[in-house]
Chains A and B, each alone.
Chain A
Amino acid sequence: MTAAALDPLIHVPARLQIMAALATLPDGDQLSFKRLQDMLELTPGNLITHLRKLEEAGYLATSKTGSGPASRTSVALTYDGRHALDIYATTLRGLLNGV
């Protein structure tokens, strides 16, 4: 097995960090865009780009509440996203153990 077996969508440092951070939340919880940005120390533009790619793949869902300057965007992993991260971590362990 080679590194090519890893999900290419997750196997990018920023996207792996986003998935890993969101996976620590319990099912049904969401994290605000601002808090996620603070936790990962990514620029807003960079974070939006990676979030869009993960959302297009169905790995995460975003929701917006409120309007105007008070609006808030929240992000959460979907069932498919958690499953994809589990598979990624299992594959990674296999690679590190030389399977």
Chain B
Amino acid sequence: MEPGEAARLLAQTQAHSRRSLDFRAPWVSLVAAAVALVGFGIVWLNVRNQHPFTGPSPVSLVVFYGLIALRIATVIYARARARAGVSGHSVKVQREEAVVMGGVLLVWYVMLIAIASSGQHDAGFDWSLGLSGTLIVLAVLWAGRCAIHKSWREVALTVPVGLIAAVGAIAGPRGMWLVNGVGLCVLLLMIAALGNWQRRGTRTHLVRTGA
């Protein structure tokens, strides 16, 4: 085997293995972008003319949470497919992280329910805290997790999520659904495009070094 051929084989195998073991394929981001736009969009269409704001209708919430469930299902499916056959330390760590994140979210939701049932705030406050607050909590949790793993690029990706949620909160209980839907959709499309570009970049690099 010539050195050039060995270099090509080494680079090609590593690139193929990384792609194969990574569940964050562009299609997963595309599904998430569609879910964000349609899910938030449906609720926005439902609440945009509410004066005073009373909150989304049960039907729009069922569709919204149904789409979120679809998003979670696609991630679980993609992850199970990509990580099939992998065992060891990182799998154990990821399980522990999932338990911690689930626990924090559970505490957050209990607190939200307690605030909403106290009846001391209007529906606008409760829904703004429930939506923008949850997105900020998720962004902070994910940033903390990625910082522990020194995945600085992923830490950087959580910043726009927090910003979108903050701008959404400023836009008010009606506008926040539109801001979050469009903002997250654009961000997820950019992530999908970046992932696709990186995959193409790897292939181009292989062709260039491929002898």
Which range holds the interface residue count of chain B?
Answer: 20 to 34
Residues of B contacting A: mostly: helix
For B1, what are the chain A residues with a Cβ–Cβ distance below 8 Å?
Answer: 3, 11-13, 16
B72 interfacial contact with A, CB 8 Å: no
Could you count the A-B residue pairs with CB atoms below 8 Å apart for me: how many are there?
80
Neighbour of A30 across the interface among B4, B14, B16, B87, CB < 8 A: B87
B118 interfacial contact with A, CB 8 Å: no
For B89, what are the chain A residues with a Cβ–Cβ distance below 8 Å?
Answer: 26-29
For A6, what are the chain B residues with a Cβ–Cβ distance below 8 Å?
Answer: 3, 6
Residues of A contacting B: mostly: helix
In the assembled complex, the CB of B27 is this many whole angstroms from the nearest CB of chain A, namely 20
Q: A17 and B9: CB pair below 8 A?
A: yes
In the complex, how many residues of chain A place their beta carbon closer than 8 angstroms to a beta carbon of chain B? 31
Return the CB mask of A3-26 against B: 1 if under 8 Å, else 0.
Answer: 100100001110011001101111
For A92, what are the chain B residues with a Cβ–Cβ distance below 8 Å?
Answer: 3, 6-7, 10
For B10, what are the chain A residues with a Cβ–Cβ distance below 8 Å?
Answer: 16, 20, 89, 92
Q: List 13 A-B contacts (CB under 8 A).
A: A3-B2, A13-B1, A20-B9, A24-B14, A25-B21, A26-B88, A28-B88, A28-B90, A29-B88, A31-B86, A39-B17, A40-B13, A74-B87
A contacts, CB < 8 Å to B? 3, 6, 11-13, 16-17, 20-21, 23-32, 34-36, 39-40, 74, 76, 89, 92-93, 95-96
